[in-house]
Amino acid sequence: MASSGIVLRELDGVDHVLLVRTRDDDSWTVTAGLIDPGEEPHDAAVREVLEETGVACRVDRLAWVYTGPPVVHLNGDQAQYVELVFTCSWLSGEPFAADDESTDAGWFPVEDLPEMSPHQRARIAAGRALGPPWLGLGAGLDKAGET
């Protein structure tokens, strides 16, 4: 299973989201990572945010649950992950590339995001949505207008 933290913060009256630029393909993404054995999914989201950006946050709610597409790892292993996306609030810290997986981190206005994949934009939309968690990959992409 994997966990994502959509960290939201208001700066100068404008809603911002925390993003990282990945080292492997130079793309902007939300923070995410695998859940460690014995770890609670919401704790994994908080841990990943801190490890990747140096930002402390709290989880406010589960935003989206879906099964991601199949992936093939560098060693040839094939996997498919259940993804849990959490809406989080900023508590403290200013973002920086805090691990070797990222080259940059920062706050971006949610209405003026850098170029990113539809899947990443959908995660942010789910994190900002009100109501019950979105269920399913296709349904979530549809709700986000990313199909």
Q: Which residue has the higher pLDDT, 68 or 132?
A: 132
Share of the chain above pLDDT 70, in %: 100
CA atoms within 13 A on the CB side of 31: 34
Measured distance CA(23)–CA(97) in Å, rounded: 10
- Max Cα–Cα distance, the chain, nearest Å: 47
d(CA 14, CA 147): 27
- pTM of the shown model: 0.93
Domain that holds residue 18: 2-143
Sequence-ordered strand ranges (E) for the chain? 2-11, 14-22, 28-29, 31-34, 56-67, 71-72, 78-79, 82-92, 102-109, 134-135
The counts of H helices and E strands in the chain are 3, 10
Q: How many domains does the chain have?
A: 1
Answer for the pair 46, 59: CB distance below 8 angstroms, yes or no.
yes
pLDDT average, residue stretch 5-31: 96
How much is the average pLDDT of 93-105? Answer: 95
Query: Tens of pLDDT along 19-70?
Result: 999 998 999 999 999 999 999 999 999 999 999 999 999 999 999 999 988 9
pLDDT of residue 73: 85
* pLDDT bracket for residue 134 (50, 70, 90): very high
**CATH code of the domain covering residue 63:** 3.90.79.10
